[in-house]
Structure formats: C-alpha cells, structure tokens
A and B are shown apart, each in its own frame.
Chain A
Amino acid sequence: MTPTPGILIAIPAYNEAGTIAAIVGRVRDSLPDYDLLVVNDGSQDATGQILEQLNVRVAAHMCNLGYGRAVQTAIMYALECGYDALVTLDADGQHQPEQIESLLSEFKQEGWDVLIGSRYISARSYRGAPLGRRLGMQLFSVLVKLIIGRRVYDTSSGLKVIRHTVFEPLTHWHFVDFHAEAIVYLMRLGYRIGEFPVTVTERTQGRSMYTPINYFKYPLKTSMLVLLGIIEAALTRRRHRS
C-alpha cells in the first residue's frame, strides 16, 4: 500500500490511562503510514505520562475543555498542517483501528465529506444499546431525518473521517460533541455525509462521558444546537450567495 501522509488519525483522550497505550499501539500497528495525534484533554490520571513514554505526538490541553473542544483542536491542527482528511476515534478502545482502512477506502471511493463509522447502519436498529442511549439516538436520528430528509443512524459515533473541505466550517463555532448538531449543520451547508458499518466493543476501563446528569443535559443542549445549526447554515449560505 502506498503511504498516505495526508491523513491524520486523531484520538481525543480524557482520563484514559487504562486503554490509551493499547489503542495507540493498535493504531500504529494497523495504520503505520498515517500520522497520529492524541489530544490529551486535561487528563488528571496517568494518561499524559503514558503518552510521553509512547513518544506519540500530543496536543495537550492544560485543562479539561470537553470532547467537542478536543475534536476541534484536532481539526484545527489538521487544518494548520494541511492534512487532506482527519480520522477521529475514541480512546476508550471501543473502536477497532483495524477497520479504519476499509472506512477510508469507502470515503475515497464515494467522495464523502464526512463518513461516520456506524454501529447501527447494518441492522438499522438500536438493539443492544442501553435504554437511555437508545432513546437519545432514536430521537436525534428522527430529528435529523425530519430536518434533512435522510436518516443517519449513528449520530453519536466518535469514529469519523472528515475531509479537509469541512475543516473550516467546523472551526467556526463550538459544537457540543460533534454529533447531531454538526451533522445537521454540515448537511444544511450541502456537504455529503455517509455512514459505513463498523463493529464496536463495549468499554471495559475508564468512565463514559455519559453520566446520569448528562442523559438530561445532552439532549437539551444538542437539540438547541441543532436548531442554531439550521439558522447558522442558512445565514452562511446567504453570506456566500451575496
């Protein structure tokens, strides 16, 4: 396979000392030709020290800014360094780095602007997900369909391939988690977003960002940003026309 230096693999990490070494190792083994960046989002455990030992390129936030800001840092880095595309994957080991190559093949072949590694596109259902999460995903999937007219099954997947054309719009304003709100915003701007089936394993170590309070906060915050995304996209389109 020919080296593709134009692609950056980015892993946002917050308190992932238990999994980060393994995930970095797997990315290096399965994707040796791609550049790797870990965004350490102000971790308070040993994540920083482990990353130092691994001699990996790290963008270290001095304090915790949240998942959305960590992804945005990776996008800003990719934009400044002139990468053609960015692949984001979670640091908790749920995503299989070995599947990224097939994700990238689909991305290049179909010319997607954003390709989401989807857990649910094959089954077209949310079987196996916890009830709260299932309801949330159902809600945002339906919401995206109502607004865009096309179903996106896995709006909350952290495994994404993002083309360089999308970098700039994604740095303009702050998204909560680059989930439904970013999908709606980009689709309203006319970008092509697709889904590709991937398998996801359950988190075995560390803590999920979905705490009980987040189950209430997340849908409200995301719904508000979805609405603002529609308005923002309409204003951006109008600015471009005039």
Chain B
Amino acid sequence: MSLQGVLVLNLIALALLLWVLNLVRHGRLYVGYGVIFVIAALGTTLLVSVPWLQTTLTHVIGAVFPVSALTLLALCFIVLMLLYTLTQLTIVSNRLSKLVQELAIERAKRGGDAR
C-alpha cells in the first residue's frame, strides 16, 4: 500500500476513534459497542501500518493484493456488525413488548368490568 493510502486510512481510523470516544463520553453510545469500534480502528491502523501483517493476512485469506484482503475483512466486519446490531435491536424490542404486555395485564386486573 502506498504511503498516501496508509496516511488516509490512519486518518480515517483516528477520526473514527475520536468520534466514538466522544459519543461514549456524552452517553450517546453504549461503552460496550464503543469498544468494538475502538478495536476495529486500532486494528485497521495496525494492519495498514505494518507491511508484513498485511502480507501475512493476504496469504491467509488467499487474496492476490493486500487491498483485496483488507476489503474482504471490512465487508465481513460490516456484515457481522449489522447482524449484531439487529440482534441487539430485537432484544430491546422484545423487552419493550414484554413491558407493554405486563403493563397492559396489570392495568386490566385493576380496571373495567370482567363480564
């Protein structure tokens, strides 16, 4: 990867890192989710800055160019994050449904004519 490419990717990773830290600081992103992005940003920095890591990854994945290996890795990360986000969304949705149901039942027990 060219020096310009390494610099651009490191800048993007740094921006992501700062943005995530700011979001966590203001309570707009749960620290558990923030950690994932911090690891991803640091991992990207490490991968693009250390050439032999890129070469090893390219060989392990079976790609010809390091850029292809990085793209594949990025795609996998996006799919995994999407699935993880939807899982968390489903959990929250189920909790909310349960709460709405319990509230409805408690209110029903107290009010209205049963016949």
Chain A residues packing against B (C-beta within 8 Å): 28, 32, 34-37, 39, 55-63, 65, 69, 72-73, 76-77, 80-81, 174
| Contact (Cβ within 8 A) B115 A60 | no
Instruction: Tell me whether A58 and B108 are in contact in the complex, defined as CB-CB below 8 angstroms, given that A37-B114, A63-B100, A174-B94 are known contacts.
Output: yes
A residues in contact with B115, CB < 8 Å: 28, 32, 34-36
Once the chains are docked, how many angstroms separate the CA of A174 from the CA of B14?
A: 43
Q: Interface 1/0s, chain B 81-112, versus A by CB < 8 A?
A: 00000000000001001001111110111011
Smallest CB–CB gap between B104 and chain A, Å? Answer: 4
Count chain B residues whose beta carbon lies closer than 8 angstroms to a beta carbon of A.
Answer: 16
Q: List residues of chain B with CB within 8 A of the CB of A174.
A: 94, 97
Q: Is the CB of A60 within 8 A of B107?
A: yes
Chain B contacts of A80 at CB under 8 A?
105, 109
Q: 30 A–B contact pairs at CB < 8 A? A: A34-B115, A35-B114, A37-B108, A37-B114, A39-B104, A55-B112, A55-B113, A57-B108, A57-B111, A57-B112, A57-B113, A57-B114, A58-B111, A58-B112, A59-B104, A59-B108, A60-B108, A61-B101, A61-B104, A62-B100, A62-B103, A63-B100, A65-B101, A69-B101, A73-B105, A76-B101, A76-B105, A77-B105, A77-B109, A80-B105
Name the distance in Å between B69's Cβ and chain A's nearest Cβ: 35
Task: Report yes or no: A59 in contact with B107, Cβ–Cβ below 8 A.
Answer: yes
B41 to chain A, nearest CB (A): 36
Nearest CB of chain B from residue A31's CB, rounded to whole Å: 9
CA distance A125 to B7 in the complex (A): 70
Q: Name the distance in Å between B15's Cβ and chain A's nearest Cβ.
A: 37
Interface contact B97-A65, CB-CB below 8 Å: yes
CB distance from A44 to the nearest CB of B (A): 15
Contact check, A65 vs B113: say whether CB atoms are below 8 A apart: no
Contact (Cβ within 8 A) A65 B100: yes
What separation, in Å, do the CA atoms of A32 and B115 have in the docked complex? 7
Give chain A residues whose Cβ lies under 8 Å from the Cβ of B114: 35-37, 57
